[in-house]
């Protein structure tokens, strides 16, 4: 799973709901189309960890508020399913709770426990031995298996 963070200017909603830092499940292909040009660090990026996506969204929202104090800036998360759908803003506690629950539910590396990328790594000679987040974890797993066999 991956989450995409972007600034949005939703149309067809109340003015106080219009400006949103959006965390969209599914990556860039599933973000709403009202995306603003990337301006702040972390914006326009995909994240494998929803907690990292939320942290980026918080930093972006704070910078946006500083540059545009006259605007109401919200943070929201959701899934468009490939459609256009404005996400409903959430409070900070709700966002943190969501990010932690989402993190707990995603597949993790069998070696280090980090979130798996979209295309995980595996042992070429035994693809069913596990899924890994990077080559280093595959190598560490293979080393451990060799030590058991010696």
Per-residue model confidence as pLDDT tens digits over 67-82: 999 999 999 999 998 8
Handedness of CA 53, 60, 10, 71 (dihedral sign): positive
* pLDDT bracket for residue 121 (50, 70, 90): very high
* Structural domain for 130, as ranges: 107-150
Is residue 84 located within the same domain as residue 40? Answer: yes
Give which of 124, 103, 131, 70 is closest to 3, Cα–Cα: 103
Is residue 30 located within the same domain as residue 94? Answer: yes
75: which strand partners? Answer: 21
Residues 30 and 77: beta-carbon distance below 8 Å: no
What DSSP state is assigned to residue 73?
Answer: E
Is residue 54 located within the same domain as residue 82? Answer: yes
Is residue 42 located within the same domain as residue 53? Answer: yes
Q: What does the alpha-carbon distance between residue 19 and residue 141 come to, in Å, rounded to a whole number?
A: 46
Q: What is the pLDDT of residues 11-69, one digit of tens each?
A: 889 999 999 999 999 999 999 988 998 899 999 999 999 999 999 999 999 999 999 99
Residue tagged 């929803």 (tokens): 50
pLDDT at 148 over 70: no
């Amino acid at each position: 799973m991956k989450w995409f963070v972007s600034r949005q200017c939703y149309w067809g909603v109340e003015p106080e709901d219009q400006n949103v830092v959006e965390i969209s499940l599914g990556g860039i292909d599933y973000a709403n189309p009202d995306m603003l040009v990337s301006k702040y660090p972390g914006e326009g990026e995909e994240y494998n960890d929803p907690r990292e996506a939320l942290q980026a969204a918080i930093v972006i929202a704070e910078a946006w508020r500083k540059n545009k104090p006259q605007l109401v800036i919200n943070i929201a998360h959701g899934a468009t399913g490939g459609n256009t759908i404005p996400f409903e803003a959430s409070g900070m506690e709700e966002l943190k709770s969501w990010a932690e629950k989402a993190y707990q539910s995603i597949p993790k590396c069998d070696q280090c426990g980090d979130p798996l990328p979209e295309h995980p790594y595996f042992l070429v000679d035994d693809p069913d031995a596990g899924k890994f987040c990077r080559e280093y974890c595959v190598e560490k797993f293979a080393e451990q298996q060799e030590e058991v066999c010696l």
